[in-house]
Amino acid sequence: MPMKKLDGPMLDYLTAIDGSRHLAVAASADDEPVGLARCVRLEDEPDTAEIAVTVLDDWQRRGVAPVLMTELARWAYAVAIRKFRALFGDDNRAIAKLIGAAGIPLVPDGNGMLRADIEVGAILKLAAPASA
């Protein structure tokens, strides 16, 4: 369910990037931000982090999100995060297509939400240069 207002503790939780519990990677062009990917480690599943990716409208469909996710995956793997969990509305065709194209199952999570668990290692493997 979307939140209408962020209170102090929730705002801190979402913005306090510490390189272990909460990681973030940004993309920019001509010194202007064009996209952001971040993840927050789950307290009860510490090898899993909830991921959120946003790309500015004018920059969508140019492959920015996969680049951000790969970079985030590198940082996440280094601090023992092995799985990204994505939660999104079932009407979000863009992210459903992006994740679904990789063959990752989308599971109904109630209240019109879908959930996908993405192996961090699989993202890194996809990004690795093919060996000769």
Ligand X SMILES: CC(C)(COP(=O)(O)OP(=O)(O)OC[C@H]1O[C@@H](n2cnc3c(N)ncnc32)[C@H](O)[C@@H]1OP(=O)(O)O)[C@@H](O)C(=O)NCCC(=O)NCCS
Of 94, 102, 107, 126, the one binding ligand X by CB under 6 A: 94
CA–CA distance, 69 with 53 (Å, rounded to integer): 8
Nearer to ligand X, 49 or 55 (CB): 55
Of 19, 33, 46, 63, the one binding ligand X by CB under 6 A: 63
Is residue 100 a contact residue for ligand X (CB under 6 A)? no
Question: How many chain residues touch ligand X (CB under 6 A)?
Answer: 19
CA–CA distance, 95 with 52 (Å, rounded to integer): 10
Residues 21-60, interacting with ligand X (CB under 6 A): 52-55, 60
CA–CA distance, 7 with 16 (Å, rounded to integer): 14
Nearer to ligand X, 8 or 52 (CB): 52
* Residue 49 · residue 23 · CB < 8 Å: yes
Nearer to ligand X, 54 or 70 (CB): 54
Is residue 86 a contact residue for ligand X (CB under 6 A)? yes
Is residue 73 a contact residue for ligand X (CB under 6 A)? no
Alpha carbon distances (Å) from 102 to 9, 68, 122: 35, 16, 10
Chain residues binding ligand X by CB under 6 A are: 52-55, 60-66, 86, 88, 92-95, 97-98
